[in-house]
Chains A and B, each alone.
Chain A
Amino acid sequence: RKEVEQDPGPFNVPEGATVAFNCTYSNSASQSFFWYRQDCRKEPKLLMSVYSSGNEDGRFTAQLNRASQYISLLIRDSKLSDSATYLCVVNDGATNKLIFGTGTLLAVQP
């Protein structure tokens, strides 16, 4: 089983749509979880951390289900500027190294 698994997409959605990304991770001992955003040929940038209680930042909502080892990201009212690759990322314990998923490509269409 891959350490962090995501649907690669692409997700093609119209402006204003709601889109959801899912991710699973294999290490049940993982403690910290994140969604990063990566634009083409740029560095990953933190979008939001993911907490067990779920958390929201504007149009973005992240959820974590530790029992299922499942992470999700919901984007409401998609904007053209949301077009990017969304990376599910897990912090792998003692040295805080990050394990990345392959990313899900989102293309928001006008």
Chain B
Amino acid sequence: EPEVTQTPSHQVTQMGQEVILRCVPISNHLYFYWYRQILGQKVEFLVSFYNNEISEKSEIFDDQFSVERPDGSNFTLKIRSTKLEDSAMYFCASIGTAENIQYFGAGTRLSVL
């Protein structure tokens, strides 16, 4: 069964450092998403991406965040200068055109020290 893959599974970084979280969506999917889940809280939408541009972003997705699809397979989330409060699980998801089901990757646990 095709799946969304995310790397790394756990990223530890120092406050103020830049991190890049990587995702490989399902191959024929065209819509891509990032969500985050702070420990003990609900899953929150960050950004949606279609046709090589951001289609929607939430208030959380400020200037410190950016997304990129550098090639035909990868979809990345960059946090320029991490804060303690960026510590969370970050989930990538993708969706095809023939259905409206979003499939989630296993997530990257980001720990900012």
* B residues less than 8 Å from A46 (CB atoms): 101-103
In the complex, A101→B104 CA distance in Å? 16
Taking the nearest CB of chain B, how far is it from the CB of A52, in angstroms?
15
Instruction: Tell which of B56, B89, B95, B106 has the most Cβ of chain A within 10 Å.
Output: B56
Question: With an 8 A cutoff between CB atoms, is B65 at the interface?
Answer: no
The answer, yes or no, to whether A41 is at the interface (CB within 8 Å) is yes
Contact A45–B104 (Cβ < 8 Å): yes
A18-39 to B contact mask, C-beta < 8 Å, 1/0? 0000000000000010100010
Residues of B66-96 whose CB lies within 8 A of A: 89, 91, 93, 95
Interface residues on B, range: 20 to 34
B101 / chain A contacts, CB cutoff of 8 Å = 34, 46, 49
* Number of residue pairs spanning A and B whose beta carbons lie under 8 angstroms apart: 53
Q: Is there a chain B Cβ closer than 8 Å to A1's Cβ?
A: no
Contacts of A34 in B (CB 8 A): 101
Q: How many A residues touch B, CB cutoff 8 Å?
A: 22
Query: CA A103 – CA B41 in complex, angstroms?
Result: 9
* Shortest Cβ-Cβ A-B pairs, 10 listed: A43-B104, A100-B43, A95-B56, A95-B48, A102-B42, A97-B45, A95-B55, A100-B42, A43-B107, A43-B106
Where the two chains meet, the residues of B that have a C-beta atom closer than 8 Å to any C-beta of A are: 31, 33, 35, 41-45, 48, 50, 55-56, 89, 91, 93, 95, 100-107, 109
